[in-house]
């Protein structure tokens, strides 16, 4: 088998694995905050219903955590055995972050066990306090693994000699230019998506189950929309910072995402369109907007793909992913604003069925936006695994079993996803057996 085919299968395998893992770690990072807020409300109001709700969501969290732990194990294994050349470089430079991420997960799992086993033993702040290490460890875990990904996009802190990294400065490597924007943008995305999924669940219940139309459910939905409002604002701030970072450090990714073939002063923002034989058709261009978004100057020059060797171009299709992510993000912000406007006007937003249906859609859409964002990040770095250092085709193992794995693992992921969703539905129906 030729290297390109082998690489394609390897990329498909790790891509499937990361997308599957992202479904669960989004909640692994985001849900401790939501559960903590619910338990805090129980302490603040003394109302047992908040505590019951927090406990119910903690059961959902456990189930998602389990599946996330399994999918995380798959990725750890695949990184080692499918991408050994990548790890041979990343190990000495960023291995300490990889390793520490595992330890943070270890702390999260241990305290999560303690948190779940003490629902009937501890009350108030004593019990809520056990969730804090879970949330902090989850965030630390996300920070550490994101630092590795950011380093892949903006590698520094070493130089290559005879195919191996030398003069390694691990902390310089970790605190690379991509770290802050990648970490903050993705963290906000995790919290926003988890809150959107929870709000969507309550909206669905409100629409479909008259018995669920209680003041408490309305309050919980409002709490989730409150989280979404805060995260929506932060999403805009971090998104803007991300755009400015990409323009400065990853011009090829920006040019491909924005379908900008020619280096342009006062570059337009390109929206929509379809790709035929390497040419975009039917796009809408908003003059000067890309220059302004990327630099703060409407007349700034933005580097196009013409300045980049053709062999280093990322796949042009990332324009679809980028547009999809931005469109969903804008729609979510609009929905959040609409919800709170209705609430401000009527003191409730649950009377508007279109808004409730939009909230039902918000959860899956937020998850799709998360996936699209990571697709832009990962595919936009191609053809490199470590930008400018290691091409993807040079990073992959020579073993042909990658092909079998690339076929088998997605099937396993689908089975796991179906089973997990099925159990979640049973939990919703009150048939769950999670203790």
Partner 1 sequence: MTADYQTAAVAMAGIPLAFAILYSIFGGIEFGLPLAALTHDKAGAARGRRYFSPIWESTNVFLVGVVAAVMTIFGAGLPILSSLLQPLWLLAAGALAVRGALIVGVFYGGWTNWTARVLLAVVSLAIPAVLIQNSTIMLTGDGDLLNHLGMVVALGTLAISLAVALWAGYFYTPGKTTRDLARLGFWLAIMLSWFTLPLAIALDGSVLSDGRNVLSVMWPVYGLSLLAVLTLASEWRRRYWVASAVLTAGVAITLFVAQMPYLVRPTVLLTDMVTNGFSQIWIATAFGLAVVVVVPVLFVLHRLVATDSRH
Site residues for partner 1, 91-120, by CB under 8 A, read 91-92, 95-96, 98-103, 105-107, 109-118
| CA proximity to 13, closest of 381, 392, 418 | 392
Contact flags string 296-315 toward partner 1, x per CB under 8 A:
--------------------
Interface region with partner 1, contact rule CB under 8 A, candidates 77-85, 178-186, 232-240, 334-342: 77-85
79 near partner 1, judged by CB under 8 A: yes
SS3 of residue 352 by DSSP: coil
Tell me if 76 contacts partner 1 by CB under 8 A. Answer: yes
Contacting partner 1 (CB under 8 A), which of 26, 85, 193, 392?
85
Residue linked to tokens 């629409």: 207
The DSSP output letter for 269 is: E
User: Smallest gap, in angstroms, from Cβ of residue 160 to partner 1?
Assistant: 14
Question: Taking the alpha carbons of 114, 120, 121, 122 in that order, is the dihedral positive or negative?
Answer: positive
Least distance (Å) between residue 351 CB and partner 1 = 36
CB of 420 to partner 1, least distance (A): 6
How far apart CA 112 and CA 266 sit, in angstroms, is 51
Residues contacting residue 299 through CB under 8 Å, at least 6 positions apart: 265, 266, 288, 291
- 426 vs 419: CA distance, rounded Å: 11
Residues 155-184 that bind partner 1 (CB under 8 A): 164, 168, 170
Residues 18-57 that bind partner 1 (CB under 8 A): none
Which is nearest to 221 in space by CA: 193, 201, 251, 248? 201
Q: Which stretch binds partner 1 (CB under 8 A): 43-51, 60-68, 273-281, 297-305?
A: 60-68
* Two structure tokens written together for 129: 């306090």
Nearer to partner 1, 322 or 413 (CB): 413
Q: How far is the CB of 11 from partner 1 (least distance, A)?
A: 16
433 is a site residue for partner 1 (CB under 8 A): yes
**CB nearer to partner 1: pick between 79 and 221:** 79
* Cα–Cα distances in angstroms (integers) from residue 311 to residues 261, 370, 388, 391, in the given order: 14, 28, 12, 11
Minimum distance between the CB of residue 371 and partner 1, rounded to whole angstroms? 20
- CA Rg value for the chain: 23
Q: Where are the alpha helices (DSSP H) in 347-400?
A: 353-379, 392-395
- Cβ closer to partner 1: 149 or 420? 420
Judged by CB under 8 A, the number of residues near partner 1 is 72
How far, in Å, are 22, 44, 356 from residue 225 at the CA level? Answer: 22, 19, 12
Determine if 74 is a binding residue for partner 1 (CB under 8 A). Answer: yes
Q: Which pair of tokens denotes residue 428? A: 């919703």
118 versus 299: smaller Cβ distance to partner 1? 118
What b/e sequence results for 170-182 when a residue is b if at least 16 CB atoms lie within 10 Å of its CB, and e otherwise?
beebbebbbbebb
Minimum Å gap between C-beta 97 and partner 1 is 9
Site string for partner 1, 214-233 (x = CB under 8 A): --------------------
Residues 383 to 402 in contact with partner 1, rule: CB under 8 A: 397-399, 401-402
Q: Spell out, one character per residue from 399 to 428, where the chain touches partner 1: x when CB under 8 A holds, - when not.
A: x-xx-xx--xx--xx-xx--xx-xx--x--
**What single string gives the DSSP state of each residue in 204-273?**
HHHHH-GGG--HHHHHHHHHHHHHHHHHHHHHHHHHHHHHHHHHHH-HHHHHHHTT--S-EETPPEEE--
């Amino acid at each position: 088998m030729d290297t390109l085919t082998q690489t394609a299968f390897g990329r498909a395998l790790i891509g499937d694995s990361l997308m599957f893992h992202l479904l669960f770690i989004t909640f692994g990072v985001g849900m401790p905050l939501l559960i903590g807020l619910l338990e805090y409300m129980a302490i603040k109001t003394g109302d047992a219903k908040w505590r019951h709700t927090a406990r119910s969501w903690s059961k959902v969290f456990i189930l998602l955590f389990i599946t996330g732990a399994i999918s995380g194990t798959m990725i750890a294994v695949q990184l080692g055995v499918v991408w050994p050349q990548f790890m041979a470089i990343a190990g000495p430079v960023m291995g300490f972050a990889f390793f520490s991420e595992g330890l943070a997960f270890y702390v999260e799992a241990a305290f999560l066990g303690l948190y779940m086993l003490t629902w009937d033993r501890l009350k108030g702040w004593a019990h809520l306090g056990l969730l804090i290490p879970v949330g902090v460890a989850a965030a630390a875990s996300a920070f550490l693994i994101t630092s590795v990904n950011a380093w892949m996009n903006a590698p520094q802190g070493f130089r290559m000699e005879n195919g191996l990294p030398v003069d390694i400065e691990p902390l310089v490597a970790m605190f690379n230019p991509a770290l802050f924007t990648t970490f903050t943008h993705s963290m906000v995305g995790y919290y926003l998506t988890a809150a959107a999924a929870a709000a969507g669940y309550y909206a669905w219940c409100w629409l479909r189950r008259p018995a669920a139309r209680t003041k408490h459910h309305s309050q919980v939905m409002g709490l989730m929309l409150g989280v979404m409002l805060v995260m929506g604002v932060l999403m805009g701030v971090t998104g803007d910072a991300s755009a400015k970072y990409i323009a400065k450090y990853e011009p090829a990714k920006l040019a491909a995402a924005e379908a900008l073939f020619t280096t342009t002063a006062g570059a337009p923002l390109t929206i929509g369109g379809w790709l035929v034989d390497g040419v975009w058709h039917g796009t809408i261009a908003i003059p000067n907007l890309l220059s302004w978004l990327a630099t703060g100057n409407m007349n700034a020059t933005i580097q196009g793909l013409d300045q980049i060797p053709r062999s280093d171009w990322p796949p042009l299709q990332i324009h679809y992913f980028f547009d999809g992510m931005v469109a969903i993000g804008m729609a979510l912000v609009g929905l959040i604003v609409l919800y709170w406007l209705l609430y401000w006007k009527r003191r409730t937003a649950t009377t508007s069925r279109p808004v409730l249906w939009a909230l039902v859609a918000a959860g899956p859409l937020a998850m799709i936006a998360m996936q699209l964002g990571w697709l832009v990040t990962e595919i936009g770095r191609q053809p490199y695994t470590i930008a400018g250092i290691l091409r993807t085709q040079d990073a992959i193992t020579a073993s042909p079993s990658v092909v079998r794995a690339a076929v088998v693992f997605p099937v396993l992921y689908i089975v796991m996803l179906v089973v997990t969703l099925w159990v979640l539905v049973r939990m919703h129906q009150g048939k769950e057996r999670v203790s």
